[in-house]
Amino acid sequence: MPGIVIIGVQWGDEGKGKATDLLGDRTDWVVKFNGGNNAGHTVVIGDEKYALHLLPSGILSPGVTPVIGNGVVVDPEVLFAELEALRARGVDTSKLRVSANAHLITQYHRTLDKVTERFLGKRQIGTTGRGIGPAYADKINRVGIRVQDLFDENILRQKVEGALDQKNHLLVKVFNRRAITVDEIVDELLSYAARLAPLVDDTGLLLSDALDAGDVVVFEGGQATMLDVDHGTYPFVTSSSATAGGASTGSGIGPNRLDRIVGIVKAYTTRVGAGPFPTELFDDDGDTLRSRGFEFGTTTGRPRRVGWYDAPITRYATRINGITDLVLTKLDILSGFDRIPVCVAYDVGGRRFDEVPVNQTDFHHATPVYEYFPGWKQDISGARHFDDLPTRAQEYVLALERMSGTRISVIGVGPARDAVVVRHDLLD
Ligand code: GDP
Ligand code: IMO
Ligand code: MG
């Protein structure tokens, strides 16, 4: 059972990093297959807290080979800064492999990300400003710069010329910014070439061979289902395939190599940036969830929008991704509420929707239909078996399981590595 995909069910920050880390000592490879340094994974190991953006969480597990797949957009400055910071804390980063086909984020992508957002005004997406969207736009537009281009200066120069040609018109004439010269970009990129060269590989081939040999490969998604460019709340999404299908295209292995699809879902909901969010709270309960759950962005520090659990979203994610197992995180944060609302359907102008409406306008106007569950007061962070949980917490979990269409295999009861209740082994 070697190919395991880990993806987010909601709008990100469900605790994917911790889930990957949980499998760490039984995993041989961890692959990041989409996104870039817009992701922010916090992993707590003992007294140490690690915040990773571009590097896959698996880099923290000795013995694991971390891979940055072809579907990722790599900002080389961030890559080396993150590697350096980990090395300074004694983490062995020497095994990292980077796909020759991954695309690069450069200065002009970061600039365009910021100025485009400013021009969108109230239609802003609320991006992380890391150049993610413009780098993927260049990839699809066939004017992207790939990792392998760094090793042929002639080609690199031609490609940068091609990429900057239209962009400089845009930057100068529309956005009123200075033009960017080909030389400054080529020089910047070449300055990374020697350090990057030993890390670069045909990662699709490596992973295929690893799977053939029976190795355990974890494909760690960034972002989440509702931020996926195809299946999320477009246009309030990221620019990559954050769903399970992206694990195949973003790492260069066939979909039949993916044996288990693990969806990570929070016991309530959060979202960073703009876009529809039916269960969003603007009251004291919202403030309580935000402060207890420490819901502030790992990447941008922005306070996350918070709301109750939305069952149709999990059902949708189960269907879109083919989820076989759910990891329900942060159940501990719900301790202390008298009653816990769960969204079971939506009301749109008097019409009931039991599933996520396909029409974006409907979803924007959806108000939640709630079912209420009795809360529990006990601190559950010490629970390690399902029976250790208060009966009402067990009932809450079982109700979510019934509504989601798949089993809840692991329950998170605290940030620490071992703060979990395992009902079904994810590797069985
Ligand atoms: P990711 O982007 O999906 O990897 O998630 P983030 O790291 O951005 O956010 C999840 C946060 O929740 C991190 O700070 C984790 O340490 C923390 N966390 C994960 N699981 C649990 C849990 O079960 N309980 C609590 N209290 N915190 C958790
Ligand atoms: P992890 O992996 C939460 C959101 C941004 C914005 C939208 C587009 O930690 O779950 P982008 O910079 O990607 O073009 O921004 O997507 N976003 C995230 N929200 N968690 C993330 O990653 C996110 N990555 C992007 O806030 O709304
Ligand atoms: Mg995050």
pLDDT tens profile 105-131: 999 999 999 999 998 888 999 999 999
Lowest-pLDDT choice from 176-185, 296-305, 359-368: 296-305
Distance 41 CA to ligand 1 centre (A): 8
Task: Reply yes or no on whether 13 is catalytic.
Answer: yes
3-state SS assignment for residue 364: helix
The ligand 2 site (C-beta within 6 Å) comprises 8, 11-13, 38-41, 125-128, 130, 132-133, 222-224, 227, 238-239, 272-273
CA gap 150, 189 in Å, rounded: 7
pTM of the model: 0.97
Which candidate in 21, 25, 28, 41 is catalytic? 41
Strand 48-52 with 41-45, pairing: antiparallel
CA angle 426, 397, 425 (to 5 degrees): 15
Topology alike, domains 4-91+202-422 and 103-197: no
Domain boundaries, the chain: 4-91+202-422, 103-197
Nearest atom in ligand 1 to 297's CA: 8
For residue 235, say if its preceding peptide bond is cis, omega within 30 degrees of 0. Answer: yes
Q: Whose CA is nearest to atom 5 of ligand 2?
A: 127
pLDDT confidence of 1, banded at 50, 70, 90? low
Counting runs of H as helices and runs of E as strands, what totals does the chain give?
Answer: 12, 20
Query: In terms of residues, how long is the chain?
Result: 428
**Ligand with the closest atom to the CA of 12:** 2
Q: Whose CA is nearest to atom 6 of ligand 2?
A: 127
- DSSP character at residue 268: S
Nearest in space to 146 (alpha carbons), one of 87, 68, 31, 92 = 68
Crossing angle (nearest 10°) for helices 391-404 and 311-321 = 50
Q: Whose CA is nearest to atom 10 of ligand 1?
A: 15
Per-residue confidence (pLDDT) for residue 383, from 0 to 100: 98
CA atoms in the 13 A half-sphere facing the CB of 92: 7
Residue range 1-18: mean pLDDT, rounded: 94
Per-residue confidence (pLDDT) for residue 215, from 0 to 100: 97
Nearest atom in ligand 1 to 222's CA: 2
Q: Report whether CATH 3.30.1180.10 matches the domain 4-91+202-422.
A: no
pLDDT digits (tens, 9 = 90+) for 166-208: 899 999 999 999 999 999 999 999 999 999 999 999 999 999 9
Residue whose token pair is 């736009």: 137
Per-residue confidence (pLDDT) for residue 299, from 0 to 100: 79
Q: Whose CA is nearest to atom 25 of ligand 2?
A: 38
CA gap 166, 148 in Å, rounded: 23
Spatial neighbors of 37 by CB under 8 A, at least 6 apart, are 53, 54, 75, 78, 82, 105, 128, 130, 132, 299
Superfamily of domain 103-197: Adenylosuccinate Synthetase, subunit A, domain 2 (1.10.300.10)
Task: Reply yes or no on whether 103 is catalytic.
Answer: no
Residue range 352-358: mean pLDDT, rounded: 97
Distance 17 CA to ligand 1 centre (A): 7
Report the percentage of the chain scoring pLDDT > 70: 100
CA gap 306, 333 in Å, rounded: 12
Nearest atom in ligand 2 to 227's CA: 16
Residue range 251-278: mean pLDDT, rounded: 97
Residue range 321-329: mean pLDDT, rounded: 98
Tokens of 2: 């070697």
